Amino acid sequence: MTLVDAISDKSCRIGILGMGYVGLPMATIFANRGFRVLGGDINAGIVETINRGESPISENGIDVMVKEAVSNGMLRATCDTEEVVKESDIVLVVVQTPIDADKRPDLEAVKCAVHTISKNLAEGKLIIIESTLPPGATQETVIPLLEQSGLRAGEDFYLAYSPERAIPTRTLEEIQKNSRIIGGVTEESALLATALYSHITSGELVTGDIKTVELVKVIENTYRDVNIALSNEVAILCEKLGIDAVRAIEMANKHPRVNLLQPGTGVGGHCIPKDPYFLINKAKELGIDLKVVSSARRVNENMPKHLLNLIEKALKSADKRIDDSKVAVLGIAYKGNTSDIRGTPSKEVIETLMEMDCDVFSHDPFVSEDFCGKFSNKIEDAVRDADCLVVVTDHDEYKHLDLKAFLKILKKPGVIVDGRRVIDPQKAEELDFHYFGVGY
Ligand code: SAJ
């Protein structure tokens, strides 16, 4: 049977290397759509959790999907990544591609996965890279590694690149609805990958050459980073001008061609803070200085410091000093309604406050740890006797805080520093809080 037939009747066996925030949702969707999936991960804890029918990640709807897929026998996980390659007709690589300390792309996880594939590669297999790559990396790094097998990409096996584009907290929904961009080392490779993805998404399937698709993924996230940087700069200006930046942005977004994002405490996560550096580094190799992209990174990387300055200013308004105060930090996760702390702005905020001898007590409804300060999942524990309440993450729970009740347990006067505009400034000021906010 040809691979295209095996894809159309779902008899092809799918292997996925990387059972993380994207790999596991992908695996459960394929499994629940009738494909037999073998998931590979080097983390034994993740593998055991999945094979118990439970999800090692928190993501809307994932628990049910994993339970169903495993109990139906359509999804199994293993640490034996070589078995995943040997046993599968199609292998997807969905591992992280962070940056190193010098802000250069760190492709070690991808190289490791691709090396495992190369050692176990057989003719006729389809390999799809979903991990975000710098433009040119498939040609420069992935293909040479795969061809160490002695097989030729596009001739003896198929190779495609199709980066994930789903947003954490709506990953399952977006994988099944978003348009998908697909690049193939040959047209046939692109067609096979398109046929496969047509089983899981109702979104448009757009094909192009691999290098263009690599670039597209990176500019999508860079576009968002630059947009947020502009709103953060507007916010800092508005604080000096005495204008409410959030209201101004809301009014500007009424314009048919304006869609400014929200200012805040910084840009976290494992994608947007690093993908622009994929561009910056590639451009540097070519003698080009991406000024807009680099400046935007600097603006967003500076926002935690801006929040710390606001905290100092807010405490001063109550004749208090950071080194003599208890500060309640609300939010550890990098954004609202997720447990993901990768690249979170709150790390720098908490660690710097502690270096300044501040008594830091943090809270987060989704996360079970902090950065060596005091932590509780019970918000009252953090707020009680605090000199200042600081909001770093926009969890929904923080959008309905009972300020009147907090006034009774906070030290007087109540001081709020809102980094995500989850608290209504007017309401807080009516209750005599000293309200400070990014962009207020
Ligand atoms: N943020 C702001 N202001 C905003 C929006 C976000 O400060 O108006 C901050 C968030 O608080 C967070 C960071 O930016 O700290 C990133 O959050 P996000 O929701 O913008 O994006 P991610 O990182 O969760 O997911 C992004 C998405 N990319 C785009 O929307 C272009 C997602 O579609 C990608 O799949 C994902 O990166 C990825 O994995 O690349």
Whether 327 shows a pLDDT value over 90: the answer reads yes
pLDDT at 40 over 90: yes
**268-322 pLDDT, tens per residue?**
999 999 999 999 999 999 999 999 999 999 999 999 999 999 999 999 999 999 9
Mean per-residue pLDDT for 178-186?
Answer: 98
Q: Where are the beta strands (DSSP E) in 205-325?
A: 205-208
Q: 372 pLDDT exceeds 80?
A: no
Check pLDDT > 90 for residue 61: yes
pLDDT given for residue 373 in this prediction:
72
User: Could you report the per-residue pLDDT of 234-245, keeping only the tens digit for each?
Assistant: 999 999 999 999
pLDDT at 25 over 80: yes
Q: Does residue 111 surpass a pLDDT of 80?
A: yes
The overall average pLDDT reported for the chain is 97
Task: Say whether pLDDT at 348 is over 80.
Answer: yes
- How far apart are the CA of 164 and the centre of ligand 1, in A? 13
Distance 183 CA to ligand 1 centre (A): 24
Question: How many residues are listed for the chain in this entry?
Answer: 440
Question: Is 370 a residue whose pLDDT tops 80?
Answer: no
Give the residue, by CA position, lying nearest to ligand 1 atom 21: 167
Which residue out of 22, 94, 164, 167 has the highest number of ligand 1 atoms within 8 Å of its CB and is therefore the one to mutate?
167
Which protein residue's CA is at the shortest distance from atom 19 of ligand 1?
Answer: 167
CB 13 within 8 A of CB 50: no
What pLDDT is stored for residue 58 in this prediction? 87
pLDDT confidence bin for 369, thresholds 50/70/90: confident
Ligand 1 is surrounded, with C-beta below 6 A, by: 132, 164-168, 220-221, 224, 228, 261-262, 264, 267-269, 271-272, 334-335
DSSP letter for each residue of 248-275: HHHHHTTSTT-------S---SSSTTTH
Q: Express each pLDDT in 78-92 by its tens digit.
A: 999 999 999 999 999
Q: Tell me how far apart the alpha carbons of residues 176 and 257 are, in angstroms, rounded to a whole number.
A: 28
Ramachandran category for residue 77: left, alpha or beta (phi over 0 → left; psi -120 to 50 → alpha): beta
